[in-house]
Amino acid sequence: VVPVSETIARRDVADVFLPAGKVRVIRNGVSLGRFPFAERRPGPVARIAYAGQLIPEKGVPTLIDAVHRLRQSGVTGVELRVAGKGAQEPELRAQVDRLGLPGVRFLGHTD
């Protein structure tokens, strides 16, 4: 089992009862040597993307609130794309509607 953090590893051992010897943490990461940063000028729109399950543990409501705060502070060129499915989707859609956030799109499951 390969969790991305010690916290998840501890949870897997304590709550899911996986044998500790079979749990090895490998953090998410990107090899900058393999994928170098390309210089570019910022455009008029900043697009933020989230890909994952739509469940409370992922914190997507916090991301939506952050986009809302940006817009409230006068930053208008922000879009949010949410790729994924999950039990929290109706709540997230309602949050976006309640906040009146243009530029937020739910993409569903995306390969």
Task: Check: pTM over 0.75? Answer yes or no.
Answer: no
Encode pLDDT of 67-94 as tens digits.
999 999 998 889 999 999 999 999 999 9
Inform me whether the pLDDT recorded for 108 exceeds 90. yes
CA-closest candidate to residue 55, choices 90, 24, 28: 90
Residues pairing with 50 in the sheet: 82
Angle of CA points 52, 58, 64, to nearest 5° = 90
Inform me whether the pLDDT recorded for 42 exceeds 80. no
State how far the alpha carbon of 43 is from the alpha carbons of 46, 47, 48, 77, in Å. Answer: 7, 10, 13, 9
CA-closest candidate to residue 79, choices 51, 98, 102: 102
